[in-house]
Structure 1
Amino acid sequence: MKTAFSRLFLVMLTAILLSACTSNEIYRSNFSNCIVTAQESCESHAIQLHDKGTEREYLLGFVEIDDQGQLRNRVQMQALLNELYTLASKESLLINVFVHGWHHNAKQGDANVESFKLNLAELSKVESHLHQDRTPRKVVGIYVGWRGESIDIPWINNVTFWDRKNTAHEVGYLGMAELLLRLEEIRNIKNTQEPPVKSRLVILGHSFGGAAVYSAAAQILADRFINSAGDKNYVDNAEGFGDLVVLLNPAFEALKYAPLYDLAQARCSYFQDQPPRLVILTSEADFATKYAFPAGRVFSTFFETHSTIKRNDCNRPLSYSEGAADRQAVGHFEFLQSHELHPASKSMAAVYHQAKAIWKNQQPGEAIQFGSTELRNLEHTVIHNPYLNVKVDKRLIENHNDVFRPEIMEFIRMLIVLSTEE
């Protein structure tokens, strides 16, 4: 009797879990262009034009990737790329990629989709005002959707943390890496022709989306950095993947970031016009990566061996445990932190056309103000180092998902302007 009851219980539990699984289908299945109006939401379209004819106009595209890192439909990506190739041959583009994190997807109405749309509209407005004397770049947004949730049941879905972490790395290693490289190719189309304003590419990732972006970008960033300062008769600015990569509360180990940190530390000075190439922003109040992440990593790393890392590049001593770096999330590992971001003591309107000058003229030991925020170098790295691992004040990002706050989006727009202007 007990055996029969146990079997019935297992069958019922399995049925409940299967019914609770999130959709594993493509959300944006119509690959034709669609203009969003009050009457047409373009809900199923993978290519959408928003706010047509206004200073907030932008093009939004969707590319969706499955749990194994494969494109859900290659035609979806190719239709978007074809549209962008055509646009890039005629005008300069400012391409912004956003990769969402845990609990999100590419469904109509997803909070990340809506927040990304608002930020694109604001960025388009900034771009229009910056280039009033010439044609501004057309703002393009690419929303990379993947199954950031595997179970829909509230509270129970928190157990999907490690399952989704593994999926995020698969997304980054495979389908997304191809997409980003193809977008970089589009960015370069018209730049050899010296247009008035060059096309640019910015990549943002949040949470596990940040892990996916880093998986796709890390080796390329290392290659570009080495190519800028190898055994040559000249040294140049360090290049990046596209023009700027920003990771928001990313959920990956500090140990994965350590090789890039070492590369940048081994170069003792940078040119004044060296722009940021990789910026990691992590809230001190992000408890998901601060506490849950290392708790899970204790079991994942139990049988691994670790050493103590000791460095003294450019007379900057550094010593830390590999084990600690392998368990802690990158943004909370203080040994590899470079900056802190706080609310400015006296907030002012963001002056976007001065962003590059503000960055170039920074001095050792001094904070620099970008509108309503203040960036302070912890003096672990030299100024103008292109890789920033920033601890963010909890007043600016209150928790793991609170990354679309106006102050943070303003700060990121300032980073975009200083990294993409001529």
Structure 2
Amino acid sequence: MRTPSPGLLLAALLAMLLSACASNDIYRSNFDNCVVTAQEKCESHTIQQHNVGSDSEYLLGFVEIDDQGQLRNRAQMQAVLDELYALASRESVLINVFVHGWHHSAKPGDSNVESFKASLAELSRVEHQLHPEKAARRVVGVYVGWRGESIDVPWINNITFWDRKNTAHEVGYLGMAELLLKLEEIRNVKNTQEPPVKSRLVILGHSFGGAAVYSATAQILADRFINSRSGKNYIGDAEGFGDLVVLLNPAFEALKYAPLYDLAQARCSYFEEQAPRLVILTSEADYATKYAFPAGRVFSTFFETHGTIERNDCGKPLAYSEGAADRSTAGHFKPLQSHELRPAEKIRELDYRNVQKIWKKQQTKGVAQFGSTRLSSLDHTVEHNPYLNVRVDKQLIKDHNDVFGKEIMEFIRTLIVVSTGERESVTAGETK
């Protein structure tokens, strides 16, 4: 029996890997608006209307991006934007963007797609509770799909970690940045009018999707924080991108987050009305970013030089190794953590109408309860700092992918209500 040649074995291996590649096609190829019913699932449609006529009604749009960070079809994004422009011209909207992470996509039936749908329905119910005497904001979801998996074979697909990490940053730098800015434009144009309730924009990213969101928004966040426009004669609340950015178990280096941490920490006081602008939520049980990420970064940073950072802004001492920060994810790097989120010992029914008052009363060493969770300050940052890097108890997020659990989604809705509710301006006495 002849032994196969090395070339033949290599060709067979390449053929096997190519056959295992995840789909590189667009999933939502029909750009027409579709009403979801028991008979019509609208799975190929880019624009979907769900639960029409109920208090859980929402609109869902899909925008898909390829491995090079380019929009798969600009007509798809434009169809979503056109639909939202038309909707926002008639009523106030609460736009929620979700960017998935590793092992996920915009494929019909993807668990992230289904979980995002459920979260939108629940948020719509909360909106109706908050505005019983006004027209509630129409909840809109935009699901940003990219190829979070390059190989479909279980177990073998774990070797794609670093390949997908690089792709995530490309997604954030290019096509997604344009999308997010245009969604913010819709929110801003609408708010030049006088609707009963202001339109708002919230962006969520998970895992490598969190890395993509951070790549797209970090420099804009810094610009908005400083807000150096001409003619300005006061320092008000720190602004953000849209109204809120939430990163769930994000997979990017703590060293990338450090400049924003320094920027916010150097301002020694914030107004009581200051809303959160960037919130990082990382589970202590997220072993993918806790162990696998640093292991890989050891090799990719081997030839880099690192120093030691020492700060004492506003009486809050800070010291850490740049090398450690370059090898750790932002959420697992203790020197840059600001809060801890744990299950409440005694669960209270959450009244979303009161969460802004609770948020205002937080102190640097205080604890605030929001329904089934308790948020504790680690006393690393000043009060009302708009950037929060939160260590999350493993009971709330059990692993890397468990980010749609009941308790954590309740807390995220709390953040959304705090950041998107009507509040009084500290500078002009106007509703913002």
- TM-score scaled by length of structure 1: 0.98
Tell me what 1:356 maps to.
Answer: 356
Look up the match of 1:163: 163
Look up the equivalent residue of 1:185 and give its one-letter code.
E
In structure 2, what is the equivalent of residue 153 of structure 1?
153
Q: 1:362 deviation in Å?
A: 1.6
**Equivalents in 1 of 2:372, 2:401: separation in Å?**
20
User: Match for residue 66 of structure 2?
Assistant: 66
What's the counterpart of residue 17 of structure 2? Answer: 17
Query: How far is the alpha carbon of 1:316 from its aligned partner?
Result: 1.1
Work out whether 1:342 is the aligned partner of 2:368.
no
1:276-321: CA deviations, max 9, x gaps? 0000000000000000000000001001011101111111111100
Q: Which residue of 2 aligns with 1:279?
A: 279
| Equivalent residue number for residue 91 of structure 1 | 91
Alignment map for 1:5-404 (pairs within 5 Å): 5-227=5-227, 233-404=233-404
CA–CA distance in structure 2, aligned partners of residues 159 and 228 of structure 1: 44
Q: Which residue identity lines up with residue 346 of structure 2 in the other structure?
A: K
Alignment length (residue pairs): 422
Native 8 Å contact 2:99 2:213 kept in 1: yes
Residue 383 of structure 1, CA deviation:
1.4
Mapped partners of 2:231, 2:34: distance in 1: 50
Instruction: Render the CA deviation track for 1:311-359: whole Å, top value 9, x for unaligned.
Output: 1111111110000000001100000000000001111121101111110
- The CA distance in 1 between the partners of 2:229 and 2:247, in whole Å, is 25
| Corresponding letter in the other structure for 1:254 | A
CA deviations on 1:130-173 (whole Å, 9 max, x unpaired) are 10100000000000000000001111100000000000000000
Q: 1:231: Cα distance to partner?
A: 11
C-alpha displacement of 1:374: 0.3
Cα displacement string for residues 351-381 of structure 1 (whole angstroms, at most 9, x for unaligned residues): 1011111101123311001110000000000
Question: 1:5 Cα shift?
Answer: 1.5
- CA–CA separation in structure 2 for the residues paired with 1:4 and 1:361: 72
The answer to whether the Cα contact below 8 Å between 2:282 and 2:391 also exists between their aligned partners in 1 is yes
Instruction: Please state how far the C-alpha of 1:194 moved relative to its aligned partner.
Output: 2.2
1:228–1:239: 8 Å Cα contact kept in structure 2?
Answer: no
Greater CA drift, 351-360 or 203-212: 351-360
Instruction: Go from structure 1 to structure 2 and tell me whether the alpha carbon gap of 1:205 and 1:230 turns closer, same or farther (over 3 Å shift).
Output: farther
Distance in structure 1 (CA, Å) of the matches to 2:232 and 2:196: 31
Residue 47 of structure 2 aligns with an amino acid whose one-letter code is I
Q: Deviations over 1:374-413 (max 9, x none)?
A: 0000000011100000000001011000000000000000
Q: Partners in 2 of 1:137 and 1:289 — Cα distance? A: 36
> What code does the residue aligned with 1:55 have?
D
Distance (whole Å) between structure 1 residues aligned to residue 276 and residue 411 of structure 2: 13
Tell me the SS of whatever aligns to 1:193: coil
CA–CA distance in structure 1, aligned partners of residues 229 and 27 of structure 2: 44
8 Å CA contact 2:102–2:148 kept in 1: the answer is: yes
| Secondary structure in structure 2 of the residue aligned to 1:189 | helix
| d(CA) in 1 for partners of 2:80, 2:290 | 37
The separation in 2 between residues aligned to 1:233 and 1:35, in whole angstroms, is 49
- The alpha-carbon distance between structure 1 residues 231 and 335, as it changes in their structure 2 partners (threshold 3 A), is farther
Q: 1:7 deviation in Å?
A: 1.1
Return the alpha-carbon distance in structure 1 between the equivalents of residues 352 and 322 of structure 2: 40
CA distance in 2, matches of 1:283, 1:190: 36
Cα distance in structure 1, aligned partners of 2:177 and 2:66: 14
2:286·2:400 contact (CA, 8 Å) conserved in 1? yes
What letter corresponds to residue 103 of structure 2 in structure 1?
Answer: H
* Residues 229 and 236 in structure 1, CA contact (< 8 A), matched pair in contact too: no
Is there any run of 5+ residues in structure 1 with no aligned partner, and where? none
d(CA) in 1 for partners of 2:366, 2:82: 46
Amino acid at match of 2:153: I
Q: Secondary structure at the match of 1:369?
A: strand
Would the aligned equivalents of 2:364 and 2:381 in 1 still touch at CA under 8 Å? Answer: no
Contact 2:364 2:378 in 1 (8 A): no
Distance change >3 Å, CA 381–CA 2, structure 1 → 2: farther
CA contact (8 A) 1:229 1:238 kept: no
- Contact 1:203–1:245 (Cα < 8 Å) also in 2: yes
Moved more, 19-28 or 315-324: 315-324
Preserved contact between residue 283 and residue 400 of structure 1 (Cα < 8 Å): yes
Paired with 2:232 and 2:318, the residues of 1 have a C-alpha distance of 28
For normalisation by structure 2, the TM-score amounts to 0.96
Offset of residue 190 of structure 1: 1.8
Paired amino acid for 1:258? A
